[in-house]
Chains A and B, each alone.
Chain A
Amino acid sequence: MFPTEMPEDPSQPMVPLDADTAERLLSGRLDPDDAPPGYADVARLLQAAAGPAEEAELSGEAAAVRAFDAAQRGRLEVLGRRGRMEHSGFRVRSWGRAAGPLGGRAPVRGRGGVRGRLVVLALAAAVVVGGVGVWTAGGGPFPRELGSPSGGPTAGGSGSGVPASQGYRPGANGAGSLRPAGPGLGPSAGPGLGPSAGAVQVTGDRPPSVPSAREPATARHGGDVTSHGGGPGHGAKPNRPARQPRPKSEKPKPKKAKEPREQAAKGPKASESRKSSD
């Protein structure tokens, strides 16, 4: 009697599987009757797991085909739409999920359009602000030599004694030149002058010392305002002579860029005392 003809004894200890037998078992090529002791049922189980499809497993065929058709139509639609959008200069980010019974959704446009509009708006705002700055510095109603009639934050700005001949560059601080337009320019527009109030020193033709790149635009604007004497008390000395410009050969001190923060920490009074000591 061959071992395969004997009924399998469940209490029989299992022999370790060699690699070849395990491979035949997994691929379904091992007949359960030829399996090592203890593995006949495993062979049957694995053959059942890899068995032919059952009816229930194929019940979703119609829905899958509908989804396939919808996906094909959606793909064609996306391709057509993408062509049109690319032709008009926009980039389309399509999710490409077709509407259908498999839970898809129609292709949607990404956020690129909104972001593009924001960039365009920001550019337009920058152009407008810069234009007003140029206009104010050059031919505005308050020529810089006259100063502001009110003597307020803006008075020092245009009347700080910086002669026009010293090469005032509106492009460098055009935003600060917006002050005559009114006090409503955000956090740095009022007498409080924002985060860098009284900190940025502008002398002659030098642009305002470069603020940190992380500073918001409003902070930089505030610095410019102050640089023209916008802080409390700055406007009280409209005729104070400006600091002489440095020779071009002189290299700026490396700590210059940090000055605004240090001075901001000291507050407007520190800036004031420094100016008076000048």
Chain B
Amino acid sequence: MIGPSFEAVLAAAADGNELAFRALWRDLQPALLRYLNAFAPGSGEDLASETWLRVVKGLAHFSGDERAFRAWVFTVARHRAVDRWRRGTRRHDELVPLDALAHLPAPDDTAGTAVDTISGQAAVAMIATLPPDQAEVVLLRVVAGLDVAEVAAITGKRPGNVRVLTHRALRRLAEQLARQSRVGGPVV
């Protein structure tokens, strides 16, 4: 998060200030990539680029605080991902990128199984193994840092539905990690 200076940064970026755009990009790009890679494996970079193009075009017309900006950027990103999915350029069941899976520890790799050593991309890859609607709400909540209402607005779901999906996702993750630790020994 950029913080109190966000409005000034946004205004400068809208005026074409390169440094201000860099600040916005560095703040949001990692989360954007993690989110997009979970749903369009291998296309995250392309989709993020398309998203930024749209954002740059709309910068001058955007008004709102930093949270609203984040929500808007992820809404644009989601639309790009949905478009890509509809075009069928990627198969429906390719939810986990192979390069992200490469970071995941093998089941018998006790040292690698330690969750505290897991990278951000590997963690997202593990979240992406959840059912898509659960994975999406968790990623938007955790990676994008949005609240329930914002996630509900982006995904077109009711806030209660978002909460239910989140709870189910957390429980499922806990079960998966417990199963993994039983195979590979104690996690911590």
Contacts and interface: CB of A to CB of B under 8 A. Distances in A.
Interface of A: 7-8, 10-11, 14, 17, 19, 22, 25-28, 32, 38-42, 44-46, 48-54, 56-58, 60-61, 63-65, 67-69, 71-72, 75, 96-98, 102-104
B96 interface: no
Given A25-B170, A44-B115, A61-B25, A71 B57 contact: yes
- Identify whether the interface residues of B are mostly helix, strand, loop, or mixed: helix
B127 interface: yes
Interface residues of B, number: 52
30 contacts: A10-B182, A14-B171, A17-B167, A17-B171, A22-B166, A22-B170, A26-B141, A27-B145, A41-B177, A41-B188, A45-B173, A46-B138, A49-B34, A49-B124, A49-B127, A50-B142, A50-B143, A51-B123, A52-B30, A52-B120, A53-B120, A57-B29, A57-B30, A58-B29, A61-B25, A64-B52, A65-B18, A65-B21, A68-B21, A71-B56
Interface stretch (B4-12, B42-50, B82-90): B42-50
Contacts of B119: 48, 51, 54
A54 B121 contact: yes
Choose among A11, A46, A50, A63 the residue with the greatest number of B CB atoms under 10 Å from its CB.
A50
A42 B53 contact: no
A151 to B, nearest CB: 64
Contact of A46 (B56, B123, B167): B123
Contacts of A96: 57
B167 A22 contact: yes
Interface in B27-47: 29-31, 33-34, 45-46
Contacts of B118: 44-45, 48
Interface of B: 16, 18, 21-22, 25-26, 29-31, 33-34, 45-46, 48-50, 52-53, 56-57, 115-116, 118-124, 126-127, 138-139, 141-143, 145, 163, 166-167, 170-171, 173-175, 177-178, 181-182, 186-188
